[in-house]
Structure 1
Amino acid sequence: MDERGQQPAANGAATILVCDDDPSLRELVRAVLGPDYRFVEAADGSEALDLVRTERPDLIVLDVMLPGLSGIEVLEELRTTESLKAIPVVVITAWSHAEIDAQVAGADRFVSKPFDPDDLSAAVRELLP
């Protein structure tokens, strides 16, 4: 992992943006999904949007509760920006009512915290060809 929170790319690997304010959760997501992906990380919503625009990830794993812009606000921005709206998003959160908010905002999949690693892996495999 470099100083910008990026992992060197595996040869031809899909890029996944992991956005969560908890570094241990970002690390857990990387560990669960394994070495077959390139990861970039954001700790808040604004950083996530900046990285989406510069890195063009193939998929986003997005927490709802973030400092600054919430995950729902990030998702709404993604879905209303023509060049970004096709990026698949897996929303993860401990909020019980967030699933409805995430679905309304356009999430492709929803995983509850604490999450089952198999559920997250399955969601990512479904969304990344």
Structure 2
Amino acid sequence: MVPAPLKDTKQAIIVASDILRPLAAPASAAFWGERFKTIYCETGRALIDRLRRRPFHCAIIQDQLEDCDCWRLAKIIRSGRFCAPALPIVVLHRGAPSAGFDAIAKSLNAATASLAEPDAIPRIVQAAIDQRRRSSVLIIEDDPDAAETARRALDADYKVEIAVNGADGLSVWKEKRHDLVLLDLMLPALPGEEVLKEILVVNPKQPVIIVTAHASQSRHSNLMLLGANEFVEKPFDINVLRALCRSLFQEMALARADREIDEMRAAARENAHRATAASISLRQGNTSGAAMQLDAMLAGAPQDLTDDEWVEVLNDVQDK
């Protein structure tokens, strides 16, 4: 279960690092300042256990922990299974980071900081917290009481916007492309079913939860075939609505992770082929052909590969 939102005035951060703690320990209060409340752990499992028990404003992860690497841990956080998926992450690295390191961090919406410059870490952590992106939800609902109930249920975890009729809702969605739409069927100006059709013409993958008071099973089926993801009945049960939204965002995060894995594998195969071609060209004395293959590898280096996956690709090429 994802913990309730934070109410503490201090910003709680959790640090998974066996290196940063001794660096900060001699003057911990001065190091972190008065804004932070800090908890340390030394393994990925310990960090997840902490995140399951209470919410935090930021997670700081060392590049390599005893039981897992930072990227696997970041993907677990982004899945939303144990905490809010938008939790700010700062990855600590030793030495100069590679281009691949920065690219993977960017793909996971994680900031990076150097253990060689510990004094800069609190500033980077604060910037990551300030730039946190909460997922957006558009509620298209003409009943003010129902709209307000939904807003109260979701406002702590998401950026919530309300439109009071179908035409306004469609216009606002086209302008801002919210991550999730909560759509009433019985709307003035433009019926909910027409709004759904218009949205899915623009973005067939747009997640939409249909709000219904009295709808037949056959109508539910028709709307699901059109592209609706889920249904929720009025009057709202706040806990059911929260759980439904959380479940959809988890599904979206996992789908993104699956796409990224597929892309990484495809890019790794392509680079392995290019490296093999470059090796053959060099053995044949064709240096220009080898250079062309290597340039193509560098230009299209797979951004989502972890360091371990990249080493595996290089080893595969070396064995051939």
TM-score range, shorter chain: 0.7 to 0.9
Aligned with residue 67 of structure 1, among 176, 181, 188: 188
Long gaps (5+) in structure 1: 1-9
Deviation at 1:60, TM superposition (A): 0.4
> Counterpart in 2 of 1:86?
205
Q: Distance in 1 between matches of 2:243 and 2:187?
A: 24
Deviation at 1:90, TM superposition (A): 0.6
Long gaps (5+) in structure 2: 1-130, 251-320
Native 8 Å contact 2:150 2:236 kept in 1: no
Q: Distance in 1 between matches of 2:168 and 2:227?
A: 20
Letter of the structure 2 residue corresponding to residue 104 of structure 1: L
> Counterpart in 2 of 1:125?
246
Deviation at 1:101, TM superposition (A): 3.7
Q: Secondary structure at the match of 1:40?
A: strand
Q: Distance in 1 between matches of 2:188 and 2:225?
A: 21
Q: Would you tell me which structure has more helix in proportion to its own residues?
A: 2
Q: Which moved more, 1:24-33 or 1:98-107?
A: 98-107
Q: Distance in 1 between matches of 2:146 and 2:237?
A: 13
Q: Distance in 1 between matches of 2:198 and 2:146?
A: 23
Give the 5 Å matches for 1:40-119: 40-81=161-202, 84-97=203-216, 98-119=219-240
Q: Which moved more, 1:100-109 or 1:117-126?
A: 100-109
Q: Which moved more, 1:37-46 or 1:108-117?
A: 108-117
Q: Which one has the largest radius of gyration?
A: 2
- TM-score normalised by length of structure 2: 0.35
Q: Distance in 1 between matches of 2:153 and 2:193?
A: 24
> Does residue 38 in structure 1 map to residue 144 in structure 2?
no
Q: Distance in 2 between matches of 1:102 and 1:116?
A: 22
Q: Which moved more, 1:113-122 or 1:61-70?
A: 113-122
Q: Distance in 1 between matches of 2:156 and 2:210?
A: 21
- RMSD across aligned positions (CA): 1.6
Native 8 Å contact 2:146 2:236 kept in 1: no
Deviation at 1:31, TM superposition (A): 1.0
Q: Which moved more, 1:64-73 or 1:91-100?
A: 91-100
Deviation at 1:74, TM superposition (A): 0.7
Deviation at 1:100, TM superposition (A): 3.1
- TM-score normalised by length of structure 1: 0.83
Native 8 Å contact 1:102 1:110 kept in 2: no
Q: Distance in 2 between matches of 1:44 and 1:124?
A: 21
Native 8 Å contact 1:72 1:101 kept in 2: no
Q: Distance in 2 between matches of 1:72 and 1:79?
A: 11
Native 8 Å contact 1:16 1:40 kept in 2: yes
Letter of the structure 2 residue corresponding to residue 30 of structure 1: R
Q: Secondary structure at the match of 2:148?
A: helix
Q: How many residues align?
A: 118
Question: Aligned residues: percent identity?
Answer: 36
Q: Deviations over 1:43-91 (max 9, x none)?
A: 111111111111110000010000021111111111222xx22220011
